[in-house]
């Protein structure tokens, strides 16, 4: 468990403990102005519900960010693998071309050498 996770769990536990110790104050009805009307409602409970809603929204946002990061990382890995395969194919193609060039050049040299050798034999025989 990381330090950040431990801190968040400790903060959550402190909030739950605070609410439990002051539960009577949390559920005590208080006049709340809505701008147009005034109602009697437990302000502490409303604020506690608001904190819980914010925590859920935060967790959903964090989950969304982590999921989008993993999707992007996977896409990048696939693109990197495709580029790696393309580079390997290009390298193999270059080796094949080099081998063909060397084979052609070697055949030319051999034919030239055999022609020169044939000429030298004719000169020696004469």
Instruction: Find the largest Cα–Cα distance for the chain.
Output: 130
What is the tens place of the pLDDT at every residue in 6-25?
998 999 899 889 989 999 98
Enumerate the domain spans of the chain: 3-125
- Which pLDDT score is estimated for 64? 97
Determine the average pLDDT of the residues in 27-42: 90
List C-alpha distances in Å: 81 to 51, 70, 87, 88, 106: 45, 16, 10, 10, 37
pTM: 0.59
Residue 26: Cβ-neighbour burial (10 angstroms; 0-12, 13-18, 19+): middle
Which of the four pLDDT bands, split at 50, 70 and 90, describes residue 34? confident
Which of the four pLDDT bands, split at 50, 70 and 90, describes residue 82? very high
Lowest mean pLDDT among 26-30, 58-62, 76-80: 26-30
- Which pLDDT score is estimated for 124? 83
């Amino acid at each position: 468990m990381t330090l950040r996770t431990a801190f968040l769990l400790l903060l959550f536990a402190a909030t739950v403990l605070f609410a439990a110790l002051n539960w009577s104050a949390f559920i005590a009805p208080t006049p709340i102005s809505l701008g147009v009307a005034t109602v009697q409602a437990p302000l502490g409970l409303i604020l506690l519900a608001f904190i819980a809603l914010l925590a859920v929204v935060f967790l959903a946002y964090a989950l969304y960010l982590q999921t989008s990061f993993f999707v992007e990382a996977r896409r990048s890995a696939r693109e990197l693998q495709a580029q790696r395969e393309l580079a390997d194919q290009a390298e193999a193609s270059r080796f094949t071309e080099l081998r063909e060039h060397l084979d052609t050049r070697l055949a030319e040299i051999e034919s030239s050498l055999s022609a020169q050798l044939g000429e030298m034999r004719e000169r020696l025989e004469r």
